Amino acid sequence: MLNLVVLTTIITSVLSQEIIGVAYTFDEDFNWTFDNKTCQNKKGWNLISYEHLKIPSSNIGSPVGIRAINNSCTSSFPIIFFSDSILELTVYLKVKAFESGLTATVFDEVGVPVVKYVYNKSSENFLLGWNTLLIPIHVNLKGYINLLGYCHSNEIVILDSFRYTINKTNYNSNKQKEISLHTDVIDIVEFGSGDEDIDIEGSGSIDENDSNTTIPEDSGYITEPPDLPTSTNFWNPATITIIAAGSFVLISIICISAYHFGKLRGLEQNASLFENIEPTITITIPRVNNIYSNPFSNRFRR
């Protein structure tokens, strides 16, 4: 029964093109679900409230996010990624230094970087304030997301949430720049100490009343190893649907066959039981008119 429920859930999710993976907003369990894998003793992110920092968040689903402090790093819980999927990050940046911003890297389960995305002041079409970053995933793998935020003491780099979907209409893959990534690169981004003071006044205009997200074009870059065995497109929505439906049909056939086989066996056993029962033997007892206690009494003497 549990298998049927799981298969039904998978089929429904795939056919409706809803989220496959996670949709995560940061809250009190952030320190429990995230750790410092591949962070190499870097500082952690701090959980903050937008209201406390007076950051506009009318169109943001969560009242809290995580803020980078100088050179901050954290890694997510395990996630299963499918080919032709999208990792969507909602970020808020108020920076002046060109190197200040966010780097998101997808690692496989053995710690090899597979996809990397950099968004900072030097990125094309960089915008201050709220932005939605769309990161295409072109491989199937089980891994985790590493989030590296860099800013100076008076700059702001905030990550509100990340969302993982398989809807290919949300981005234009032709606008992404792909370069080669060596699989032995682990510490991908290394900045300064972050203690330098940067004056962010005049670094750009931010409309505090406008919290609409913007989707930057060509902001950052994507890297993928060319020889990964998981780069095939076997695991796609159609394949998952076929496998799930086939498993459901197979389990149904097995259950129905077992039911009819058991029923047939029961009928055969009942028939053999009736055949082994012998018919009842009828015994006829002759009728007796009189009974004498002593058959050798004088009554029978002549």
Helix (H) or strand (E) holding 4: helix 2-15
Compute the distance between CA of residue 103 and CA of residue 119 in angstroms, rounded to an integer.
6
What CATH architecture applies to the domain 19-232?
A: Sandwich (2.60)
Check pLDDT > 60 for residue 219. Answer: no
Q: Which two tokens stand for residue 2?
A: 């549990």
Check pLDDT > 90 for residue 146. Answer: yes
Check pLDDT > 90 for residue 188. Answer: no
Mean pLDDT of 23-51: 83
Domain segments of the chain as ranges: 19-232
Between β-strands 64-67 and 113-120, what pairing exists: parallel, antiparallel or unpaired? Answer: unpaired
b/e map of 133-168 (b: 16 or more CB within 10 Å)?
bbbbbbbbbebbbbbbbbbbeebbbbbbbbbbbbee
Q: Each residue of 15-26: pLDDT tens digit? A: 333 445 566 888
**Contact at 8 Å (CB) between 29 and 66?**
no
Q: Each residue of 84-135: pLDDT tens digit? A: 889 999 999 999 999 999 999 999 989 899 999 999 988 887 889 999 999 9
